[in-house]
Amino acid sequence: MLSSLRAIAELKSRNTLILREHTWLKYLSLTKEKNVNLEQVDSLEQMAQNPVLEYVERTLQVLDRLSLPQREKELVEEVLMWSETAKCGLPHQRREWLDQGFHLGIHNIGSAQIYASEMEKRPEAKRNREREKLLYVLILTHGLAGQYIRGEVRYSSMKPLIEVATQEMFPLLYALNHCIVAGVSPGIWSSVQKEMEEVNCWICDGEVSKEQTFQERLHRLRDLASLRGEDFDAVYDEWMRSNPDAEKLLKRFFQKTDMWYVEASLTDFTFEEWVKIFLLIERKTRSSPSWNSFPLSP
């Protein structure tokens, strides 16, 4: 069993002293936050008391079952341990992070900042700065390959990872994404694993020009609606023909914008309602031009 899973098991058996040894677990477990992707629950009644910690535990359980060299397994484990920390923490801790400028609203960025801050507290003799740099990038970009497949983020959002990735890193990246996606839903992993392999190959080969077209990205964002019977091509062509100015605005908006949780948040809206929501967001971003990445709370 992974050491991280043993620590979670100790905490579940009410051994809170374990939190003195595992800062990541302290942040995940001692929190009043309740962030959850609704794709992870069938009903609000079934939602866990600490959905983030339970999700992290599931990702680690997936990793525990994978056949992976020890070094790669330890790296993936550490990424999974820290990658959700920005969603948690007690109020005073979150205020401290915000005061330090940590981006808690975009949790991959915030979690990478928290990880780096914790590493700075370690004695120099116990640090491996090259390993820390790699882990920082892996935490910073965790989940983005899956979000790219779903149309939520631009391929360019993975630039920090593309810059450090090598072909030898493919097993590590593929395993990491397997854990992240299967932790949400094994069914989702089954549906994306072939494309995930392709995207991870691009990253490891240093490919930099794999952006989706505007129409393709919208189609991917409407995947669940299409499965429920929406004829995407028909509604897209009809709406865009009737609103050419809006199409231009949205194209510019999507060229510079990354998003999280779009399907989980907006899948029940009609295409017209859905597009109008993005037009409202586009108007907001023009008044706040620093926005180029944001979560839509599910």
| Beta strands, E only, the chain | 258-260, 293-295
Task: Compute the distance between CA of residue 153 and CA of residue 197 in angstroms, rounded to an integer.
Answer: 18
Distances (CA, A) of 130 to 135, 136, 138, 159, 291: 9, 10, 13, 18, 31
Query: Quick one: pLDDT at residue 39?
Result: 52
Query: Quick one: pLDDT at residue 290?
Result: 54
What DSSP character marks residue 121?
T
Which of the residues in the chain have pLDDT under 50? Answer: 40-41, 43-44, 47, 297-298
**CA R_g for the chain:** 20
Query: Quick one: pLDDT at residue 238?
Result: 94
**pTM of whole model > 0.95?**
no
What the block records as the tokens of 76 is 């993936």
Helix or strand run (H / E) with residue 217: helix 214-221
